Structure 1
Amino acid sequence: MSLPAEAAAALQIFQDASGWEQRARLLMQWGEHLPPLSEADKCEANLVHGCESQVWLVGRLHDGHWQFSASSDARLIRGLVALLLARVNGLSAEELQQVDLPGWFNQLGLSRQLSPSRSNGLNAVLKRMFELTQ
């Protein structure tokens, strides 16, 4: 399965980064690029359960391809979620089921820095995406 263009660009940028400090800065920058969710979208129904931080997720289907929007109150999580969205936006429900989340963050060079709670949170976001696409 080929990567969406935004995911391929992210992969190149993160693989070119020298060390964790530069990746952490990039992560914060990616989080700042997330379009803000409306206050109406920041509701209980869109809150992802299983995250220590607050994460809201909205999914919309366009011509058989999913577009997700998300926000978080935590900067690092916002960056991780932005990278997840780069990987999954534009995929069909079937393609979404095949996304290897640990493999994606490993390719980006971020897996060692993902604490168990952050990994669990990202898995909760991915699980919520699956639920929305059903």
Structure 2
Amino acid sequence: MARVASGVPVADECKLKFLELQRKKAFRFIVFKLDEKVKQITVEKLGGPDATYEELVASLPENECRYAVYDFEFTAKDGIISSQKSKIFFIAWSPDIARVRAKMIYASSKDMLKQELNGIHYEIQATDPTELDLEVIKERAK
């Protein structure tokens, strides 16, 4: 298990799956859950390489907190030259209607997970579905 500073420890599987997303493009997204039984952050869902952003958003529970990473691929133009780029987004999903205790634990554990997932480009904190719109991702990636 990975180190723990404050919050909940991170399962080794989280870092391993993130490396597969980052280096091998094996996944488009990963959803992480704080498993209260084993008291650590674990992988809840993996989105295959062809998964969509909409599938990621649909996998986030309406009333429970989660973390997710999303590998956003886009075409960047530099003058007349276009190139494929990829940016990894960290999403902290903490809906307004989630339990207060859960929001506090997720908030205190977020930085530990981010430290274990080396290579994140942007972070999005969302409390309602409008903050998860694909346009938010596109705007940040520019």
If the TM-score is normalised by the length of the shorter chain, which range does it land in? 0.3 to 0.5
For the pair shown, the structure with the greater C-alpha radius of gyration is: 2
Higher relative contact order (CA 8 A, sep 6+): 1
Greater fraction of residues in strand: 2
